[in-house]
A and B are shown apart, each in its own frame.
Chain A
């Protein structure tokens, strides 16, 4: 499959140095960089699919009443949008793609600890994804339950829920195995001199994430098995008429799915922590606090799932405890924001594409995080729960946060692995359009939610019409920026100007290896003598 590779692969790199270039040399490769790129192509493909579905949803909501589709189609589309974006793009996105590409080099290893297990993870992901896709076009049609699969609706609907849930179940194992692999790699394969205090913060964030993947994902697996048992065997665990409890399902679901939010955002924070110092030419401010706060978020974030359920009917005491813990988890996130901004102080800042995406991450993540305070306080949550406020909130965190961090990572790291540059100007134009469109779209959603528009509404009352139109226009601005970004990046990576060396002047190990890196990364075993943000001996080349 020639299209996987740039027009003329650069010599003696992982693209060609083993002499294998066919498609089987990719899909059965155990090289972490090839697996990372495979993850990148597939996850990014799913991202674009999800965007397309999101745009269709926005067109439907552009005006009250039927615009382009009926209610059943709309309900299936928002379900598929959620499932694809969460399970097939954003959870595997950073660990699978950029974690695989960069982390082993950052710790000074030749590959991950278990290269074949890594390949198995990718295959499990692909198999799970194919099963999810099959569920859309077979049986009773695409699931219409929302990505949360709440019972009893999900155990009654005639759509193809069982198969979709089984696909997600398989994808979960891929996530667990990646977590095991990364934890082992970071513990066991660090190069000489690579102490824990010299690990780049991206690697630190992957380490915290990996533990959440290992500990929380099995609970998702159990929950999904229970849905299948409910549907196929009629166990009645969640059916009140047979002594079951539908709210118990919500607990089980969120015990995984809230920590999953941190699987999505923690590595994104790691990307930002790596990019800001490089473009300020200054050490990260508060290295230990940022590393520690990742662990604190992973730990405390595992105990806050009940804040999705303040109106569910669980006890008021539970509401109090979960509200309290939710505010506790806000603190380590705030610490990171303050440290990133302090890193800029007395630096020498260059505003290139990766930095623009990283700085806008800080703003968008802050808006998302601050609107989360409204959701964390028990009394205000009651009003905005299950409204467009929540939809706006999590898109600020997940898309404005993780999504923009992935865009930053694409502009920052991908040229290193392709050995070619993209054009800077279109990248900046794309960023500006996306940042503008993003805020028009999602800030408007938050206003709609404050005014009381519930989420997952196919149709709405006339009083919500103007703001919905504004949001839809925002989605088009965002999409225009996205198209420019994708075209510019891929044009650059395939046909751009080749380069060698260290384009941003980064000080972590991935910038010391040849461009693109050879198959086993290091020509000779590295010995680490300084921290990842000590720029005194690096120059841009």
Chain B
């Protein structure tokens, strides 16, 4: 598809905003000016007695039923037509899966590469499949005028196309708990060549350097809930966690366990199995996380004394 002819979502929606805002502004000005004029002209100081006792006028009523009806029906039709643009993904769109969880985003590409930022090539439409691991989130790109809720168990999608390079805000728009307002990342629009290079880099950046546990903990959103400085947040802190004694609930029974490697591994993969006292059971599981990444995270936590 010729990218020059591709209408971006922004270009589709903005004229509609102009039309509705324009009509609203005219109506509001009309209402305000007529009201102010009447209040001035027929103020009791100028009009000590009312000069009319008219109780209505059928023709006026008909006019101000019919004209606004036509105006709003045009708004409805225009709004619906452009909504269809948002729902019709152009052929050949790049598929990306956005996984939302409390409180971070992860974007996965067809070749298995994943990233906490959404990298897209300029001029190529992107179809984003929306997956939630826990509660309802919202995928919102103000610059592209697109938004869609990320509902657990439901196959939602959005599409957009970046026409200029740049970094664009991506917000979670559906309230999802304590760190809702921190569930923010960016769309990075780069040239098609740069994108191809980025996409085919190995997962760990420079091959052979191993997985960086700290970087992984940031990217996967672990640090949204688990602090590194010993302060208590939504989840237990990572600092001094390794080898400590932890009070937990396991299979409905209170226990004290030692936070050894096996415990950390289980808590990363299946966090619902063992719940630390005083914390809500809200962490999503990661059964599909590559073994090397689990190891890197365990090593990272072990190092936080």
Using a CB–CB cutoff of 8 Å, the interface residues on chain A facing chain B are 71-72, 75, 144-146, 150, 152-153, 156-158, 240-241, 245-247, 280-289, 310-313, 316, 319-320, 323-324, 327-328, 330-331, 334-335, 337-339, 341-342, 344-351, 359, 362-363, 366-367, 370-371, 373-374, 376-383, 385-387, 451-452, 454-461, 535-536
Chain A positions within 8 Å of B169 at CB level = 452, 461
Q: A283 to chain B: closest CB distance in Å?
A: 5
Closest to A285 in B: B56
Using a CB–CB cutoff of 8 Å, the interface residues on chain B facing chain A are 12-13, 16-17, 20-21, 23-24, 27-28, 31-32, 34-35, 38-39, 42-44, 47-57, 60-61, 64-65, 68-69, 72-73, 75-76, 78-87, 134-136, 138, 140, 142-143, 145-149, 151-154, 156, 169, 171-182, 184, 280, 282
Chain B positions within 8 Å of A323 at CB level = 76, 79-80, 83
Which one, B17, B54, B136, B171, contacts A374 given CB within 8 A?
B17
Chain A positions within 8 Å of B171 at CB level = 452, 454
Chain B positions within 8 Å of A150 at CB level = 136, 174-175
Q: B19 to chain A: closest CB distance in Å?
A: 9
Q: A377 to chain B: closest CB distance in Å?
A: 3
Q: Are B75 and A344 in contact (CB under 8 A)?
A: no
Q: Are B47 and A346 in contact (CB under 8 A)?
A: yes
Q: Are A376 and B79 in contact (CB under 8 A)?
A: yes
Closest to A309 in B: B149
Q: Are A379 and B142 in contact (CB under 8 A)?
A: no
Chain B positions within 8 Å of A280 at CB level = 42, 50
| 16 examples of A-B residue contacts, CB within 8 angstroms | A71-B182, A152-B135, A240-B153, A281-B50, A316-B87, A319-B80, A324-B80, A331-B69, A349-B38, A349-B39, A374-B20, A376-B76, A381-B79, A382-B83, A382-B146, A456-B181
Known: A380-B13, A382-B86. A311 touches B28 (CB 8 A): no
Chain B positions within 8 Å of A363 at CB level = 31-32, 35
Q: Are A75 and B148 in contact (CB under 8 A)?
A: no
Q: Are A347 and B80 in contact (CB under 8 A)?
A: no
Q: Are B151 and A247 in contact (CB under 8 A)?
A: yes
Chain B positions within 8 Å of A247 at CB level = 151, 154
Q: Which 3 A-B pairs have the closest CB atoms?
A: A240-B153, A452-B142, A377-B79
Q: B231 to chain A: closest CB distance in Å?
A: 11
Q: Are B181 and A152 in contact (CB under 8 A)?
A: no
Chain B positions within 8 Å of A378 at CB level = 79-80, 82-83
Q: Are B153 and A385 in contact (CB under 8 A)?
A: no
Which one, A153, A285, A387, contacts B173 given CB within 8 A?
A387
Q: A446 to chain B: closest CB distance in Å?
A: 11
A208 to B38, CA, bound (A): 30
A460 to B181, CA, bound (A): 7
Chain B positions within 8 Å of A376 at CB level = 72, 75-76, 79
Q: Are B52 and A282 in contact (CB under 8 A)?
A: yes
Which one, A72, A349, A377, A455, contacts B42 given CB within 8 A?
A349
Q: Are B68 and A349 in contact (CB under 8 A)?
A: no
Q: Are A144 and B142 in contact (CB under 8 A)?
A: no
A362 to B179, CA, bound (A): 39
Q: A245 to chain B: closest CB distance in Å?
A: 8
Chain B positions within 8 Å of A327 at CB level = 72-73, 75-76
A378 to B83, CA, bound (A): 6
Q: Are A72 and B178 in contact (CB under 8 A)?
A: yes
Q: Are B50 and A146 in contact (CB under 8 A)?
A: no
Q: Are A377 and B147 in contact (CB under 8 A)?
A: no
Chain B positions within 8 Å of A146 at CB level = 175
Q: B303 to chain A: closest CB distance in Å?
A: 28
Chain A positions within 8 Å of B52 at CB level = 282, 345-347
Closest to B68 in A: A334
Which one, B73, B82, B177, contacts A153 given CB within 8 A?
B177
Q: Are B79 and A379 in contact (CB under 8 A)?
A: yes
Known: A152-B136, A331-B65, A458-B181. A351 touches B39 (CB 8 A): yes
Chain B positions within 8 Å of A339 at CB level = 56
Knowing that A341-B34, A366-B31, A370-B24 are A-B contacts, what are 19 other residue pairs whose CB atoms are under 8 Å apart, sorted by A's residue number? A75-B175, A152-B152, A153-B176, A156-B282, A282-B50, A313-B154, A319-B83, A323-B79, A323-B80, A323-B83, A335-B61, A349-B43, A370-B27, A376-B76, A378-B80, A385-B147, A387-B140, A454-B138, A457-B181
